[in-house]
Structure 1
Amino acid sequence: MTEHLKDTDTARKNRRVAVICAGVFCGMVGLSFAAVPFYDLFCRVTGYGGTPKRTDQYSDVILDRTITVRFDANVAPGLPWQFRPKQRQVELRIGETTEAHYIATNIADTNTAGTASFNVQPELAGAYFNKVQCFCFTEQDLEPGQSIEMPVQFFVDPEIVNVPELKNIKTITLSYTFHPLTKATAEAPAQAAKERIGG
């Protein structure tokens, strides 16, 4: 009888450990799906990793000091596009909102789609580079030979002059990279979400 009780106790403990392990595993899988959007949001809010901050407000302070913003454009392998800034750089006053334009052209003989990611160099300046409007993370569909002009509105936060490592900065580079977007990659996040909720 005592042996039977011990076996029952052991089996119950083993089941409890198995349930906890399964719960931890499911939680880790769920967090892995959530990590990318949360990290992206964190970067946009804080400017971490050279990611420009998104804002809906313009700066109400404009300094007499100027800074040069250079524009860089790249295309990832697998996307048959030409992509370039309309102008290579612009000089603006710190705090002043400026608009620049990028141009993308589909050089393939079929429809193609892409999305752009971005960053700022030096990385520390990302926290002070504020984008009011941009085309990043928005799907762009282009027909064969079609070109599209895409604006980006931004300003450099006047607080940048109070940062010891950046107070003498003269140039910031805003860099975009377009990545191919296929129907499969576009549907993957939606399918994954559907499977998680049992749809």
Structure 2
Amino acid sequence: MTGTQGFADEQSPRRLLASETVYSGQVWDVVKEKFTLTDDGEPLVRDYITHPGAVAILAMNDAGQVLLINQYRHPVRMTLWEIPAGLLDVDGEDFQVGAARELAEEADLMASEWQVLTDLFLSPGSSREALRIYLARGISEVPAAERHTRTHEEAEIKAEWVDLDDAVQAALQGRMHSPSAVAAVLAAAVARGNGFRDLRPADAPWPEHHSQHSTWPNGPVR
């Protein structure tokens, strides 16, 4: 590759030979697929997790502080400092609307200004989970009578407003492990340098989310 200006990840469909769901879970399934890298290549088999995708929100107040929430995550047996986030599990829901819903449900907050901070695949070697992280500003509180009742792990959520620079240091020093939180605070620290003017609008296209394809990128099984 010569130069770095304008480089981007690209769709790279390969010939799909077979696909089956080998495990159906409450939130996501596991799919086994056989494919080839070239038309005459040897068949390869890979298992991966299907996923509805997710959104996450870095809320920033007028003082430049960002909201971090502390929540228990059972697979790693830790309480993690994260940012509000949730699944895109409402059929047909606009991505930013879903983000606003999650911000209200997990942090009792609303925002009047929304921008796309960054887009990620969280574990592309094993999952198709696509994550869009928003920067939310113009923060206000959800009226008490309209607040969501949190249950299970969410009932234990604690929230703290933290200086962005302190959050960056927590990420760099290995004190914060949530990939969405780490990516968000590092991206926000860079974007802050020019007043967030380079960020995309909240309704920017998100072609990497699977819902934007009428079929899987390489078409139907053949």
The alignment's TM-score, normalised by the length of structure 2, stands at: 0.21
Structure in which a larger fraction of residues adopt helix: 1
Over alpha carbons, which structure has the higher Rg? 1
The alignment's TM-score, normalised by the length of structure 1, stands at: 0.22
